[in-house]
Amino acid sequence: MLRLPSVALKYLSGEEVKVGDHVLYHFEAGQVEFVSEGGRFCEQFGVGVMILAPSFGRVFDQPDEDLEFISRGELPL
């Protein structure tokens, strides 16, 4: 099995991506549901974040210019 090194994902602004973060994704409000930095999901889909937003549901992407950090938060139960 291939082991990928764990990498801390960061927004372009420099903050580390964390579960529960409030973000803008393509100018739509959303929240980081999980971060894939290693393990099976990462091996299959790559490094990135799952973003959950009311307007579009879930999307998995890498932090880039389309993902803007707004504030730290917690995921709802």
pTM: 0.80
The band of 75, judged by pLDDT with boundaries at 50, 70 and 90, is low
Whether the CB-CB separation of 18 and 35 falls below 8 Å is answered with yes
Measured between alpha carbons, how far is 33 from 76 in angstroms, rounded to an integer?
10
Residues 9-21: pLDDT tens digits? 999 999 999 999 9
pLDDT at 2: 46
Q: Helix, strand or coil for residue 72?
A: coil
Alpha-helix runs per DSSP H in the chain? 39-45
Amino acid letter, 49: V
Residues 12-67: pLDDT tens digits? 999 999 999 999 999 999 999 999 877 777 788 888 999 999 999 999 998 899 99
Whether the CB-CB separation of 21 and 13 falls below 8 Å is answered with no
Domain ranges across the chain: 22-63
